[in-house]
């Protein structure tokens, strides 16, 4: 590779912007970002509609894992943010219980509580070696919690049968079992409401999550080409072709477009790599936002919905995040997420009406609120969750080494296809670390190879 390589970045989401930001910070000049949309931010973009309501593409909570990212966020937000205490709930059996579910089951139907505790006792007695996420759930949580919450909820989130998923992604993403906390809840009556890595979180005062990426754009604007979708990549000629027919030579390519589409757009891909793409699975979403001309009447942040009666798996009270999310004070913005896939088709033509019915069914809206709806917003990305399927790591173990042997780095939520490092901070840091490695030789720490020995090494 040349000492001063020409770097080409596909995509101006958090990963591409993180890379561009770091390249300019290092004083490097030979790089360019190509972005298909006429805006930056990718899945972390926010949109303000004609009525003045600002929507994110699903509830985006800022997690914090890296000092570099935290400093960047501080720089971008200054003092213009709100700080929130997490208030997460589960709605089932016609009532709200605090999240995490398993530590707060005491108020459910007696039969449900019994099933959950009995299942837990059974599971503690047995040795398990689960082969997929469904088996892992049964082994760790027991049959009762699996049946009443974990399995139906996860199907709603992933739009994928849990039997087809692995469980290597769990880490801090799923609150697992604390037997004492469960018994304290059921027997002594103590609720446990503060679990997890995001007990408090910050949110931009204005402009939604996308405010951060609009801010990052100012550092990379001189290198950014919007409305320039990449149509194909020739890894042998080291050239990208965009839909407008232009050719862009590179020495190193950072791709943040979905990995499957990258491989499909490349020329001269070995059959094994081409075939491995079939092992990558994903789901899409219908994100529906409803703006209502009345106060929120709740301090909740978000609520999980495991039951199939309502389409959404999560509703965020986005208007509780910042007073500027709605055009006027004392208005409400509810942001709902409904997953979709061939395993779980969801009709886009009826989703907004079904969501409103679901909000009324669960008491988040009253029937009389129909008259007060000031905004309805629908955004239906095809790809929102890179599913950690049982076939994923072998696929990545074949595809990624071949890409690297061709000086292509595929990083970010769908570039790396690793849900466990698919949040905004992980993504931006994968971009930053790409720059650090290419220019300074520093090893990556956020992205880690998966499926090593999956057969990809040496395939060219
Ligand atoms: C429903 C939902 C909820 C989420 N919740 C959270 C959360 O609570 N906290 C959190 O931290 N993160 C959350 N995320 C994740 C967050 O959105 C991602 O981490 C982040 O957007 C990933 O950034 P990225 O740059 O890797 O990918 P993307 O945001 O997907 O950006 C990729 C970019 O590449 C562009 N592109 C694609 N193909 C081409 C092409 N052929 N040519 C040119 N450009 C192309 C796209 O237009 C896009 O701008 C959530 C995501 C979703 C969908």
Q: Is the CB of 58 within 6 Å of ligand 1?
A: yes
Using the structure block, give the residue that is written with the tokens 């030579």. Answer: 249
Please identify which residue in the block is written with the tokens 């801090």.
172
Give the pLDDT band (50/70/90) at residue 400: very high
Pick the residue whose CA is nearest to atom 23 on ligand 1. Answer: 14
- The per-residue pLDDT of the chain, averaged, comes to 94
CATH number for the domain harbouring residue 30: 3.50.50.60
Residue 51 predicted with pLDDT over 90: yes
Residues of the domain holding 238: 7-45+209-280+389-440
pLDDT band, very low/low/confident/very high, at 60 (cuts 50, 70, 90): very high
pLDDT tens for 214-262 read 999 999 999 999 999 999 999 999 999 999 999 999 999 999 999 999 9
Question: For residue 198, is pLDDT > 60?
Answer: no
The answer to whether position 85 is within a domain reads no
Q: Please tell me the distance between residue 413's alpha carbon and the centre of ligand 1 in angstroms.
A: 6
CB 290 within 8 A of CB 302: no
pLDDT, tens digit, for every residue of 272-304? 999 999 999 999 999 999 999 999 999 999 999
Whether residue 447 lies inside any domain: the answer is no
Same domain, 172 and 246: no
Q: Do 271 and 153 fall into the same domain?
A: no
Same-domain pairing of 164 and 178: yes
Q: Please check whether residues 181 and 142 belong to one and the same domain.
A: yes
What's the pLDDT at 453?
44
Q: Where residue 197 falls among pLDDT bands split at 50, 70, 90?
A: low
In a domain, 144, yes or no: yes
Q: Is 260 in the pocket of ligand 1 (CB under 6 A)?
A: no
Are 367 and 421 part of one and the same domain? no
Q: Check whether residue 38 and residue 182 sit in a common domain.
A: no
C-alpha closest to that of 385 among 321, 334, 338, 351 = 338
- Specify if 272 maps to a domain: yes
Q: Based on the structure, what is the number of domains in the chain?
A: 3
Within this chain, do residues 371 and 405 fall inside the same structural domain, yes or no? no
Same domain, 249 and 371: no
What is the residue whose two structure tokens read 């990545």? 396
Q: Are residues 318 and 271 in the same domain?
A: no
**159-173, 188-202, 372-386, 415-429: which range is least confident on average?**
188-202
Q: Which of 35, 213, 220, 256 has most ligand 1 atoms within 8 Å of its beta carbon, as the pocket-test mutant?
A: 256
The answer to whether residue 198 is domain-embedded is: no
Residue 262 shares a structural domain with residue 235:
yes
What share of residues in the chain are helix, strand, coil (percent, to 5)? 35, 20, 40
**Residues 10 and 255: beta-carbon distance below 8 Å:** yes
Do residues 302 and 375 share a domain?
yes
Element (H, E) at 357: helix 351-361
pLDDT, one tens digit per residue, over 88-97 is: 999 999 999 9
- For ligand 1, whether the C-beta of 379 sits within 6 Å is no
CA of 48 to the centre of ligand 1 (A): 18
Q: If you measure from the C-alpha of residue 43 to the centroid of ligand 1, how many angstroms do you get, rounded to a whole number?
A: 4
* CB 230 near ligand 1, within 6 Å: yes
Q: Is residue 381, in this structure, part of any structural domain at all?
A: yes
**pLDDT computed for residue 456 by the predictor:** 34
- Classify residue 154: in a domain, yes or no: yes
Task: Tell me, yes or no, whether 2 lies in a domain.
Answer: no
Same domain assignment for residues 276 and 288: no
Residue finishing a domain among 385, 409, 424: 385
Give this prediction's pTM: 0.95
The 3-state DSSP class for residue 55 equals strand
Q: What pLDDT, on the 0 to 100 scale, is given for residue 169?
A: 87
For residue 387, the CA-to-ligand 1 centroid distance in Å is 14
């Amino acid at each position: 590779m040349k000492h001063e390589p020409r770097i080409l970045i596909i995509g101006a989401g958090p990963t591409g912007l993180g890379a561009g930001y770091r390249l300019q910070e290092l004083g490097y000049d030979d790089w360019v970002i190509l972005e298909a949309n006429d805006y930056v931010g990718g899945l972390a973009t926010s949109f303000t509609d004609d009525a003045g309501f600002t929507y994110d593409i699903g509830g985006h909570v800022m997690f914090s894992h890296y000092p570099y990212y935290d400093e960047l966020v501080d720089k971008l937000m200054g003092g213009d943010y709100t700080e929130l205490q997490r208030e997460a709930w589960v709605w089932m059996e016609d009532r709200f219980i605090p999240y995490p579910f398993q530590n707060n089951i005491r108020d459910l139907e007696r039969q449900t509580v019994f099933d959950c505790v009995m299942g837990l006792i059974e599971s503690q007695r047995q040795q398990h070696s689960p082969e997929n996420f469904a088996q892992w759930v049964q082994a760790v949580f027991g049959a009762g919690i699996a049946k009443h919450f974990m399995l139906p909820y996860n199907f709603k989130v992933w739009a994928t049968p849990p039997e087809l998923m692995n469980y290597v992604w769990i880490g801090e993403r799923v609150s697992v079992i604390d037997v004492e906390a469960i018994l304290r809840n059921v027997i002594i009556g103590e609720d446990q409401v503060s679990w997890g890595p995001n007990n408090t979180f910050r949110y931009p005062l204005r402009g939604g999550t996308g405010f951060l990426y609009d801010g990052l754009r100012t550092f990379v604007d001189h290198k950014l080409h919007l409305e320039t979708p990449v149509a194909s990549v020739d890894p042998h000629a080291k050239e990208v072709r965009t839909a407008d027919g232009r050719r862009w030579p590179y020495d190193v390519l950072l791709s943040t477009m979905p990995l499957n589409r990258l491989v499909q757009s490349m020329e001269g891909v070995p059959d094994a790599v081409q075939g491995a793409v079939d092992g990558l699975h994903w789901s899409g979403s219908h994100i529906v936002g409803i703006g209502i001309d009345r106060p929120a009447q709740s301090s909740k942040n978000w609520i999980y919905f495991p039951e199939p009666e309502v389409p959404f798996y999560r509703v965020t009270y986005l208007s509780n995040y910042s007073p500027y999310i709605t055009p006027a004070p004392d208005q409400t913005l509810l942001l709902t997420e409904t997953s979709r896939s061939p395993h779980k088709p969801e009709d886009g033509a009826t989703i907004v009406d079904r969501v409103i019915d679901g909000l009324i069914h669960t008491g988040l809206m009253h029937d009389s609120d129909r008259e007060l709806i000031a905004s309805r917003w629908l955004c239906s990305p095809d790809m929102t969750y890179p599913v950690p399927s049982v076939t994923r790591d072998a696929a990545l173990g074949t595809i990624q080494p071949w890409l690297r042997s061709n000086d292509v780095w595929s990083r970010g939520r769908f570039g790396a296809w690793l849900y466990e490092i698919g949040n905004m901070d992980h993504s931006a840091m994968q971009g930053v670390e790409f720059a650090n490695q290419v220019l300074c030789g520093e090893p990556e720490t956020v992205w880690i190879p998966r499926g090593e020995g999956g057969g990809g090494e040496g395939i060219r």
